[in-house]
Amino acid sequence: MTAKNGHITMLHGAGGTVMHELVKNYIVKYFGGASNIDVPLEALDDAAVVGDVVLKSDSHAVKPIFFPGGDIGRLAVSGTVNDIAVLGAEPYALTCGFVLEEGLAVTDFERILVSMRETCNEAGVNIVTGDTKVVEKGSLGGCIINTSGIGRRTKALEKNLTVVKQFRSNFEVRWILDSNLKAGDKILLSGTIGDHGLAVLSAQEGLSFGSEIKSDVKPLNRLIQRLLSDVGGIVAMKDPTRGGLADALNEFSEKSRVGILIQEDKIPIRADVRAACEMLGLDPFEVGNEGKIIIGVVKEKAKEILELLKTTKEGKEAEIIGEATADFKGVAMQTVVGGKRIIARPVGDPVPRIC
């Protein structure tokens, strides 16, 4: 692994190949292999499943703690809620651990708490236990927040699985997992990519891109439950956070052992995000998002999922961006000029501390 002189670098937290190697070579090495866990640590999915409880822990160290379109509190609630929701579960209780930095204004702390309360109300969850620690002034940037949470099975998830089985008779999996894709499944993206990473970067660097690019950070659990219950047929889901669309699609491809072919002209990107990425030399496919989902669905239900998404405010710019295929391994993109480009797993998200 690329540890500089055997030490942790910022890349180890950037959601790409360097972070994945740290997790696999160190964390899974010591904590993996537990028996009787339905979806264990080594599945490296968005959350674990223990019995019928979905369990997730997520620390948030975004810098700065307030950014266009959101703040660390909204991010902390949404991040954990969404990681539970993409397995098909309904999140219902969260924990919250604060590490506050000496010197943080109490008014800022309260602003974060108000934002967390509001985001919990949006998602229909509650924070039920937690912890508060304070450290000396340094480089925290005000505070870091850990949120953990539990989620449970719903009727919507059962209904979704019944629909999947109509089209795939041997489907025995009880959860929506990264490893469930089969050749022929369609891949949908719920909206524009890159907004969150660019919004945080603009706040970090004091950049202005003409129009203000706002973070998309939001809880998506209610939307996901609607997709599962009103249409169904969903087999895999992921929120493309650090490492962006490129990292998330490669996770699908590796874990499901299928190729994924996407169409460049179908990927929704805001014109100002595209222009800012070009100016800064960033690949929008590798920039993190906090309010988007990638959905793998049986091909017979893809159009209905798209139609429902388009009626919602979170999904009005959704597109069917591609499909899983047995023709090759990895992720490739049909470009607008007619060629094919490999979408490799990024080394790390190009923007540091976005979540």
Which residues form the interface with Mg ion (CB under 5 A)?
46, 83, 239
Q: Taking a C-beta distance cutoff of 8 angstroms, is the pair 58, 151 a contact? A: no
Minimal distance, residue 86 CB to Mg ion, in Å: 6
Locate 293 and state its tokens: 């989902």
Choice between 83 and 247, CB closer to Mg ion? 83
Of the candidates 355, 336, 330, 87, the residue with the CA atom closest to the CA atom of residue 204: 355
Minimal distance, residue 47 CB to Mg ion, in Å: 8
Choice between 83 and 319, CB closer to Mg ion? 83
Choice between 12 and 292, CB closer to Mg ion? 292
Sheet holding 319-325, edge to edge: 234-238, 294-297, 186-189, 319-325, 259-263, 331-334, 340-342
Of the candidates 250, 244, 251, the residue with the CA atom closest to the CA atom of residue 289: 244
Choice between 142 and 244, CB closer to Mg ion? 244
What's the CA gap between 169 and 164, in Å, rounded? 8
Choice between 46 and 314, CB closer to Mg ion? 46
Please give the backbone phi and psi of residue 152, each rounded to the nearest 5 degrees, phi first. -130, 165
State the first-to-last Cα distance of the chain, in angstroms, to the nearest integer: 23
User: Quick one: CA dihedral 163, 246, 119, 96, positive or negative?
Assistant: positive
Minimal distance, residue 113 CB to Mg ion, in Å: 24
What's the CA gap between 213 and 168, in Å, rounded? 41
What's the CA gap between 1 and 154, in Å, rounded? 41
What's the CA gap between 290 and 272, in Å, rounded? 18
Residue nearest Mg ion, Cβ-based: 46
Choice between 83 and 314, CB closer to Mg ion? 83
Q: Taking a C-beta distance cutoff of 8 angstroms, is the pair 195, 215 a contact? A: yes
Minimal distance, residue 238 CB to Mg ion, in Å: 6
Minimal distance, residue 354 CB to Mg ion, in Å: 13
Q: How many residues appear in the chain?
A: 355
Locate 185 and state its tokens: 């499944």
Choice between 90 and 239, CB closer to Mg ion? 239
Minimal distance, residue 345 CB to Mg ion, in Å: 15
Minimal distance, residue 90 CB to Mg ion, in Å: 16
Minimal distance, residue 102 CB to Mg ion, in Å: 32
Choice between 58 and 71, CB closer to Mg ion? 58
